Amino acid sequence: MSQELITIAATAREPGGKSQARKMRRDGIIPAVILAKAGNTNIQLDPKWLHKAYTAEGKVFNLTFGGKTQKAKVHELQLHPVKRVALHVDLILV
């Protein structure tokens, strides 16, 4: 039984620290990082699609970023302890 992977569009963001991340979360956007040996890339994601991808088996999804679509996997997901909403996501390209 093959399930089609969910596609999430990501946009680049400038690293700005806590204040910028708080503003993004307040606007309904999740800050994320693509982890790589060559260097990390700061991005932002839509929480609706991230939730659907995270609940999918294997936590693997298609990530569209910079004109390319690649498979990505959730490496670490930080949740708010009370609200249970995503605060930050670390991704690895598969």
Q: What is the structure's pLDDT at 26? A: 93
Q: Confirm if 47 and 17 have CB atoms less than 8 A apart.
A: no
Give the separation between CA 73 and CA 93, rounded to whole angstroms.
6
CATH class held by domain 7-93: mainly beta
* Domain parsing of the chain, residue ranges: 7-93
Q: Is the pTM of this model over 0.75?
A: yes
Quickly state the pLDDT bin for 57 (edges 50, 70, 90). confident
Place of tokens 């932002």: 44
Positive or negative CA dihedral for 21, 22, 25, 27? negative
Quickly state the pLDDT bin for 49 (edges 50, 70, 90). confident
Whether residue 79 is predicted with pLDDT greater than 50 in this model: the reply is yes
Q: Rounded mean pLDDT of 30-40? A: 93
Give the separation between CA 8 and CA 73, rounded to whole angstroms.
12
Torsion of CA 19, 78, 94, 48, to 10 degrees: -80
Give the separation between CA 5 and CA 44, rounded to whole angstroms.
19
